Chain A
Amino acid sequence: MSKSKYLKELENESIFILREVVAEFNNPVMLYSVGKDSSVMLHLAQKAFYPGKIPFSLLHVDTGYKFREMYEFRDTFTKKIGAKLIVHRNEEAIAQGAHPSRLGVARCCGALKTEALLDALKKYKFDAAIGGARRDEEKSRAKERVFSFRDSFGQWDPKSQRPELWSIYNSCIHENESVRIFPLSSWTEVDIWNYIKEEKIKIVSLYFSKKRKVVQKEKTLIPAENLDSNEKVEEIQSRFRSLGCMPCTGAVKSNANSIDMIVKEAISATRSERENRIIDHGSNTMEDKKKEGYF
């Protein structure tokens, strides 16, 4: 079957963006979170530079709280395609036992994700960081540029963004400043799933439904393996729509155990994929986190 016209258009746009990064920056890196968007981004990078190898490293900002399946997938997949993988963790915070139940979600995210990311960018002197964020995910992301400038502290100023016209991207920066690049800006969740289906892209098994041991908290199913409390554990047919850290990522009830079924579910979904990501709620919004340097 030939690829849908609109997926081709999205693919062409993303490939153009990825090549532009390599042409204009000295030391770019791709942020790799092991999720479905990262898998699509990596697939696009392979296509963009074919028959050459991907000309930049992958950076996984690891909190230590990711699912076992994610670590396994990360290591085998990146090895298979011959990509260079850098894993960076905020070891100090991890050693001090940073956990959302002790620090609160905002502080935990701040230390293990934002701080760790900024730290890694500085350590390796990356001047461009490619990320898989999409504009449809969250309303402050709808305002984000494809080439999004960050000052020398890694901060985003949403009120004074550079205008971005046509497909002409401004990559001029001073020393110690950087640019975040979002090649999947125009993709929606449904587009991502359709593309994974058409291109047969490998993704982590957590996205597929099976019986999982979980604790029900309101509408969210929290994986039981990471809970130390004595709450009621149930076995529920479920899957993850969006992946993050175990303590903050819920599963949803679902029977979708194939890509076809996931695509159908994504098309008819009435709730957003980030609903079960605890980090998006509460008073510290995505906008606040992004200003501080979060992806």
Chain B
Amino acid sequence: MPDSIDILRFATAGSVDDGKSTLIGRLLVDSKGVFDDQLEALEGTSSSGENKGIDFALLTDGLRAEREQKITIDVAYRYFSTPNRKFIIADTPGHVQYTRNMFTGASNSDLAIILIDSRKGVLQQSKRHLYISWLLGIKYIIVAINKMDLVDYDQKTFDFISRDFMSITSNLFIEKIDFVPISALKGDMVVQRGNKMPWYDGPTLIEILESAKLNIIDYEGSIRFPVQLVNRVDNNKRKDFRGYMGRSLSGKISVGNEIKILPTNKTSKVRELILSSKKVKEINFYDSGTILLEDEIDISRGDMFSSIGNEPQISNSVTANICWMDEKQLGIKKKYLFKHCNKISKAIIKKIIYKVDMETLNQIPADNTLDMNDIGQVDIVLQNKIVFDSYSENKNTGSFILINTDSNNTVAAGTIL
């Protein structure tokens, strides 16, 4: 494998029966991401289907309840590789009540594929998928117009749906949108081009996925390094070792760098860096490293190292967009746990500014609560000051979850404005 091979994480979104599972099955089978014995095991359970009797959905619907009800209940992660890239698919269910699953899948994705049934065109649900992708900062969207075999591979249908989709993106800024006509069932324009759509001279779906450029902005920004764990070692190899472990969430950290420790506002200098059990000169974006400082300072989990200048915000109140994910509705002024950048604080939702009508995507009054699968904008007050950036500046330092203190469930996820 070449050293340059990297990982692309993408989410797939589609309405019920848009053929999402079929598409994922097709990608896995045609790129050899699934083994023969796994396919043979399916042939026994599948009743119909065109591909050698295989129902691709049975490959991805991993739970018995899903296979029985023929719907996808929960986010599943699937893996396949081409010679140039490893892919991680967050397969998110298209059911109306499962907004939270799309939110979840999109949170860890660089790109989203929105599926549209060529016979139905752009639906309300397509708008919802676009909206959630936008809200979670996905910068690259592929609109896969599926079931082209059922509209005689008609170019006009493809052109019409593409234009229609562009018209709904007007208020939502997405850096790049590509359109591709496919038949997941027959395989056209997914991995193989097929010979049914000579009028389309753009790349196949897999070619788009292979060449999509990832956002590298975070490599160059100001340092963001939340302390995850303090490692104290005192043995015959290392005397009085005190290392700050964590993952770099932005910027490059070099030996000798002046850094600021927040929220205490102290400064120090980087004395030594360790990465993958070796001494190194620098730690880059997303590295899980260990930092040793020149000075002895009281630092604990949840403190943030930053460059001096271009520092993150510090506050005990934030405004955020949240997706409510629990059956028990949001309680205004109830205490929740707010987990953000390795730190847990008590929090209260002081005010719901508005909620989003998922049919029209308009902002509407929220009557002081949010139900499961509602998305809304809220003011949150925290017990302690937190160190953060806005989500649009940095996904990692601008995201949080809320935990119910009684059930311990994750009840909401949010992005800080």
In the complex, what's the smallest C-beta–C-beta distance from B198 to chain A, in angstroms? 32
In the complex, what's the smallest C-beta–C-beta distance from A116 to chain B, in angstroms? 25
Task: Mark A1-39 against chain B: 1 for CB-CB distance below 8 A, else 0.
Answer: 111111011111101100110110000000000000000
CB <8 Å contact, A5 and B5: yes
* Residues of B within 8 A of A (CB-CB), count: 70
- The answer for the CA separation of A10 and B287 in the assembled complex, in Å, is 10
In the complex, what's the smallest C-beta–C-beta distance from B34 to chain A, in angstroms? 8
- The answer for the CA separation of A165 and B342 in the assembled complex, in Å, is 14
Q: Does A159 contact B (CB under 8 A)?
A: yes
- The answer for the CA separation of A150 and B32 in the assembled complex, in Å, is 34
Given A19-B288, A271-B37, verify A194-B1 contact (CB < 8 Å): yes
CB <8 Å contact, B325 and A4: no
| Stretch from B145-153, B156-164, B172-180, B228-236 that touches the partner | B228-236
CB <8 Å contact, A166 and B38: no
Q: Does B217 contact A (CB under 8 A)?
A: no
Which single residue of chain A is at the shortest CB-CB distance from B233? A52
Q: Which of A140, A170, A186, A269 interacts with B77 by CB under 8 Å?
A: A186
CB <8 Å contact, B342 and A23: yes
Which residues of chain A are within 8 angstroms of B325 by Cβ–Cβ distance?
A: 163
Given A16-B228, A186-B77, A272-B38, verify A23-B301 contact (CB < 8 Å): yes
CB <8 Å contact, B247 and A271: no
CB <8 Å contact, B74 and A6: no
Q: Does B262 contact A (CB under 8 A)?
A: no
Which residues of chain B are within 8 angstroms of A164 by Cβ–Cβ distance?
A: 104, 410
Which single residue of chain B is at the shortest CB-CB distance from A136? B79
Task: Mark B276-309 against chain A: 1 for CB-CB distance below 8 A, else 0.
Answer: 1100000000111010000000000100000000
CB <8 Å contact, A272 and B35: yes
Q: Does A143 contact B (CB under 8 A)?
A: yes
Q: Does B253 contact A (CB under 8 A)?
A: no
In the complex, what's the smallest C-beta–C-beta distance from B368 to chain A, in angstroms? 23
Task: Mark B230-247 against chain A: 1 for CB-CB distance below 8 A, else 0.
Answer: 011101011001000111
Which residues of chain B are within 8 angstroms of A172 by Cβ–Cβ distance?
A: 337, 403, 408
In A98-153, the 8 Å CB interface with B consists of 135-136, 138-143
Q: Does A292 contact B (CB under 8 A)?
A: no
Interface of B is mostly: mixed
- The answer for the CA separation of A46 and B108 in the assembled complex, in Å, is 27
Given A16-B288, A142-B77, verify A162-B6 contact (CB < 8 Å): no
Task: Mark A176-217 against chain B: 1 for CB-CB distance below 8 A, else 0.
Answer: 000000000110101100100000000000000000000000
Q: Which of A15, A51, A141, A269 interacts with B233 by CB under 8 Å?
A: A51
CB <8 Å contact, A19 and B228: yes
Q: Which of B64, B228, B231, B245 interacts with A287 by CB under 8 Å?
A: B64
Given A6-B6, A9-B6, A194-B1, verify A47-B276 contact (CB < 8 Å): yes
- The answer for the CA separation of A139 and B45 in the assembled complex, in Å, is 14
Which residues of chain B are within 8 angstroms of A275 by Cβ–Cβ distance?
A: 35, 37
Q: Which of A15, A46, A143 interacts with B74 by CB under 8 Å?
A: A143
- The answer for the CA separation of A185 and B74 in the assembled complex, in Å, is 16
Q: Which of A23, A170, A271 interacts with B35 by CB under 8 Å?
A: A271
In the complex, what's the smallest C-beta–C-beta distance from A9 to chain B, in angstroms? 5
Which single residue of chain B is at the shortest CB-CB distance from A134? B79
Task: Mark A222-256 against chain B: 1 for CB-CB distance below 8 A, else 0.
Answer: 00000000000000000000000000000000000
Which residues of chain B are within 8 angstroms of A163 by Cβ–Cβ distance?
A: 100-101, 103-104, 325, 401, 410, 413
* Residues of A within 8 A of B (CB-CB), count: 60
In the complex, what's the smallest C-beta–C-beta distance from B116 to chain A, in angstroms? 25
Q: Which of A9, A47, A167, A272 interacts with B277 by CB under 8 Å?
A: A47
- The answer for the CA separation of A280 and B160 in the assembled complex, in Å, is 48
CB <8 Å contact, A5 and B401: no
| Stretch from B46-54, B183-191, B380-388, B392-400 that touches the partner | B392-400
CB <8 Å contact, A168 and B62: no
Which residues of chain B are within 8 angstroms of A136 by Cβ–Cβ distance?
A: 78-79
Instruction: Beyond A163-B413, A165-B103, list 7 extra A-B contacts (CB 8 Å).
Output: A5-B4, A50-B274, A141-B62, A158-B65, A167-B396, A185-B77, A270-B32
Residue numbers of B with Cβ under 8 A of A are 1-7, 32, 35-38, 59-65, 73-79, 81, 86, 88, 100-101, 103-104, 107-108, 228-229, 231-233, 235, 237-238, 241, 245-247, 274, 276-277, 286-288, 290, 301, 325, 337, 339-340, 342, 395-396, 399-401, 403, 408-410, 413
For the complex of A and B, 10 pairs with smallest distance between CB atoms:
A139-B62, A50-B277, A272-B35, A172-B408, A15-B288, A165-B107, A142-B76, A52-B233, A12-B288, A275-B37
19 A-B pairs with C-beta separation under 8 A: A1-B3, A3-B276, A6-B86, A9-B7, A10-B7, A12-B247, A13-B288, A20-B228, A20-B342, A49-B231, A51-B277, A136-B79, A143-B76, A161-B74, A163-B401, A164-B410, A167-B247, A172-B408, A174-B408
